[in-house]
Amino acid sequence: MPNTIRIKPLQPSRRFYKILHPANYELLIVARVADALYLYKMFNKVRVRFAPSPTGGLHLGGVRTVLFNYLFAKKYSGDFIVRIEDTDQTRFVEGAETYIFECLKWCGLPADESVLHGGNYAPYRQSERKEMYRQYAEQLIATGNAYYAFDTPEEIDAMREKLKATGSNSLQYDHHIRMQMNNSLRLLPDETTALINKGTPYVIRIKVNANEVVSFTDIIRGNIDFDTNNVDDKVLLKADGMPTYHLAVVVDDYLMKISHAFRGEEWLPSAPVHILLWKYLFGLNNMPEWAHLPLILKPDGNGKLSKRDGDRLGFPVYAMDWQDPSTQYITKGFKEIGFLPEAFINLLAVLGWNDGTEQEIFTMDELIEKFSMEKVHKGGAKFDFEKAKWFNHEWIKRLPVTNYKQRVKEIFENKGIAITDDGYFTKVLELVKERCTLLPDFYTQ
């Protein structure tokens, strides 16, 4: 990004940012977050992305990740990109991609660039970008930061068994054991070439040096350090020639000029791998700012909210109904049980974020105006369906009936009641809406 002003968090405090000279990256001034972001908006294009895998329904946590990305982008007049991460052919599910875009449409969170909307950085589907990744993997090998590995899955399993037997704390493929494995680090150059020419399947792994500290600043969490002794040599390019997430996310974020990378907290442990890849491939100065969002947890204790919890506890976890194409099983969505998109967005926005006031009901425009990543919580939040319903009730009361009349009409028609007098129907809905929490309640009333 030549001739752009870089704004980096001033470590270790995330309250202040340093603003760097465009040409030589010398420190210009130190600014508070709000000022820095204002300047960022002035000089650098904000570009964020949501990168789902088309493997099934769109979960609450996924929608919230989209929302926070979207709000941030819109607040700073930036671009919101949807990139399909379909590098795992074995997990690909027919129809999931279309479904994801339908959900985003219903939620009112349209992308500026995507497989659907086009854009200057196409293609937006990683499987179609397959050929772009290999050169970067090869470049890492050339610079000594990656290597070819020929180990079969069985050999890796055997290695882990052996480590387990010695009581080792780590079962990872890392600097401790890589010189005992079948890779280009241990093999002679000729041997490696011969194996590759023979068509032996191989992967490319990152070479993580021992005894280093990788640190970065997370907008939500502040400074985070990792000891590279605990980081393994992750596979970057798989035997089928596809990149893993680790390589693809770094290469695409660079190529698509992503300025801020926001994703779920489950990615935090692999962040050092991504930081290292940025360092080796594109330079830390070009790296996006990071924020790892807190998780949405089950209401009753243990673990991340999953699709099975919805069925078990009697509430949806997907934005819209999702039918598994192989089992035909339908997992319920918020839309179908009678949520308004305004309410769905509102309740998600205040799960893990608030503006510091007592306000709880926000329109999309208010969210865009008031959202700030700094005020997002560090800790995960348990999902409360009762409170979710309260938001819907509030929005049904607030919105004019014309907003959702059509959907209520369909509910009546599905029950075999035809609506002939539209004006009368509207008046009735207007009278009973105070009593309704979910859209089907209009029928019950």
Partner RNA sequence: GCCGCGUUGGUCAAGGGGUUAAGACGCCUCCCUUUCACGGAGGAGUCACGGGUUCGAUUCCCGUACGUGGUACCA
Q: Taking CB under 7 A as the criterion, which residues in 217-236 touch RNA?
A: 221-222, 224-227, 230, 232, 235
Coil/strand/helix, residue 257: coil
- Span from 67-75, 293-301, 338-346, 362-370 in contact with RNA (CB under 7 A): 293-301
358/421 with CB nearer RNA:
358
Say if CB 81 and CB 48 are below 8 A apart. yes
Residue 396: CB minimum distance to RNA, A = 10
* Sequence letter at residue 137: A
Site for RNA contains 196 (CB under 7 A): no
Residue 78 to residues 21, 71, 186, 370, 390, Cα–Cα distance (Å): 22, 10, 47, 16, 32
Of residues 381, 399, 411, 428, which one binds RNA by CB under 7 A?
A: 381
**Angle (CA) 51 88 264, round 5°:** 35
Single out the residue of 71, 287, 351, 396 in contact with RNA (rule: CB under 7 A). Answer: 351
Q: Please select the residue that binds RNA; options are 377, 413, 417, 427, rule is CB under 7 A.
A: 377
Catalytic residue among 74, 75, 307, 332: 307
* Candidate list 102, 311, 324, 360; residue touching RNA; CB under 7 A: 360
Token couple for 108:
């009112």
Closest among 154, 278, 285 to 214, alpha carbons compared: 278
Among 85, 113, 253, 289, binds RNA (CB under 7 A): 85
**Does the annotation mark 307 as catalytic?**
yes
Q: Is 303 exposed, middle or buried (0-12, 13-18, 19+ CB in 10 A)?
A: exposed
Nearest CA to 136 out of 232, 250, 291, 253 is that of: 250
The DSSP line for 262-306 is: EEEGGGGGGHHHHHHHHHHHT-GGGPPEEEEEPPEE-TTSSSB--
Burial-class residue 70 by CB neighbours within 10 Å (0-12, 13-18, 19+).
Answer: buried
User: Which among 150, 184, 153, 175 has a CA at the least distance from the CA of 276?
Assistant: 175
| Among 78, 119, 338, 380, contact with RNA (rule: CB under 7 A) | 380
Neighbours of 380 (CB within 10 A): 18
Q: How far apart are CB 364 and RNA at their closest, in Å?
A: 19
C-alpha 342/C-alpha 60 separation (Å) is: 14
**Rounded Cα gap, residues 366 and 432, in angstroms:** 28
Using the rule CB under 7 A, is 91 a contact of RNA?
yes
Binding RNA by CB under 7 A: which of 301, 314, 416, 423? 301
Site string for RNA, 239-258 (x = CB under 7 A): xx-x-xx-------------
Eight-state DSSP code of residue 84: B
Q: Which residues inside 134-163 make contact with RNA, applying CB under 7 A? A: 151-153, 156, 160
Q: Which is nearer to RNA, 44 or 192 (CB)?
A: 192
- Give the shortest CB-420-to-RNA separation in angstroms: 27
Does 172 interact with RNA (rule: CB under 7 A)?
A: yes
Residue from 26, 190, 365, 386 in contact with RNA (CB under 7 A): 386
Amino acid type, 185: L
Tell which one of 35, 39, 88, 407 touches RNA (CB under 7 A).
88
Measured from the CB atom, the residue of 152 and 363 that comes closer to RNA is 152
For residue 395, the minimal CB distance to RNA (Å) is 12
What are the DSSP calls for 18-60, one per residue?
EEE-TTT--EEEEEEHHHHHHHHHHHS--EEEE---SSS--BH
Residue placing its CB nearer to RNA in the complex, 131 or 421: 131
Residues of the shown chain interacting with RNA in the complex, contacts defined by CB under 7 A: 51-53, 85, 87-88, 91, 151-153, 156, 160, 169-173, 201, 203, 221-222, 224-227, 230, 232, 235, 238-240, 242, 244-245, 265-270, 294-295, 297, 299, 301-304, 350-352, 354, 356, 358, 360, 375, 377-382, 384, 386-387, 390, 393, 434-435
Residues labelled as active-site residues: 307
